[in-house]
Amino acid sequence: MKVDRAAEEPGPGRQRVQAPAGAAAAAKRRAVAEPPAPPSAAAAVSARVARRGRRPRRVQADHQSAVQRLFQACRHVFRGPGTVPGPDHVRLLRALLDTMRPEDVGLSPNLKFFRATDAALRAPTITHTTIYKCPNFSMVILFLPRNAVIPLHNHPGMTVFSKLVLGKMHIKSYDWVDPDQLPDPSSSSSGSSSCSSSSSSDDSNQLRLAKLVVDDVFTAPCDTSVLYPTTGGNMHRFTAIEPCAIIDILGPPYSIEEDRDCTYYTDVPYSDRRHPNGGVGDLTGGADQDEGLRLAWLKEIDMPRELKMCSVPYGGPPISDK
């Protein structure tokens, strides 16, 4: 008998011959027993992204720069003219400044401010930049080339934190002698001679007695120094032995309108306890001699002509006052 092979092959309008029921059941059992093939790595990533709907965002650390932390502390500590930070606040600012590095305010020894090209001809120019300033405080940086000098000057009604972050400098500072320390003029051995905390009725030649607080060389990194309205060396002079950078925090800042202008002085040695204008007298007796009290007469002067200062924009990490 002739077999019609077209009936065995599937095609349009034709149906495949069904397999016996026993064979179909065996094939189903084999499919259940065999585990599915693992997905590829690409398929696994696509599946995870599809489940989450979007790529996960990278978690950003809440990191503040050192100068931003310092700014926020200053805003908390300084309350305006007529106020002086308490001991806890002083410790807070000191701790922050003690850890400040040159790079925290964008500094390096290679900056042009530290290269004095005119040192052989005239006094080196001192550069300063203001990080931030408001009525309660200011944050500034001073750049001193080698041999540059900031003359003896005062900080009326101000508390000042100074941090040497680069270089080596000599600092000399004074405080005024308390008039209550002065002896009674009637106790002087000479009836015509007595000592007072000031001399001469002519303001232009007036000398005022001061005591030495600091006379030393400092090399960065070193501890932060603090001066107060009446103590700590409110009048000081900086002399750069090597190129220097100083971070100064002044609270409140200088202000001519609020009678906080800068006054310059020259110091006259108090040798042999003799008044430069002729008077002779014992200021404190033997007790302070034993304590090593060193005195000098300070005379107010105009801003020295050789003092050259210029200002540049701040180029370190930005701060936000929000």
Q: What is the pLDDT of residues 290-317, one digit of tens each?
A: 345 799 999 999 999 999 999 999 999 9
* C-alpha distances out from residue 57 to 129, 231, 309, Å: 39, 54, 49
In a domain, 59, yes or no: no
Look at residue 180 and tell me whether its pLDDT is greater than 90.
no
- Which amino acid, 32? V
In a domain, 18, yes or no: no
pTM over 0.85, yes/no: no
Strand-strand pairing, 309-311 and 198-199: unpaired
Average pLDDT over residues 164-171: 97
In a domain, 52, yes or no: no
CATH of residue 157: 2.60.120.10
61 vs 38: CA distance, rounded Å? 38
In a domain, 7, yes or no: no
Range(s) of the domain holding residue 86: 66-311
Number of domains in the chain: 1
Residue at token pair 């390096």: 108
| pLDDT at 191 (0 to 100) | 40
Look at residue 199 and tell me whether its pLDDT is greater than 90.
no
In a domain, 83, yes or no: yes
Report pLDDT digits (tens) over 71-127: 999 999 999 999 999 999 999 999 999 999 999 999 877 777 666 555 455 789 999
- Residues for the chain: how many in total? 322
Report pLDDT digits (tens) over 203-213: 446 899 999 99
In a domain, 37, yes or no: no
Average pLDDT along the chain: 78
In a domain, 290, yes or no: yes
145 vs 126: CA distance, rounded Å? 7
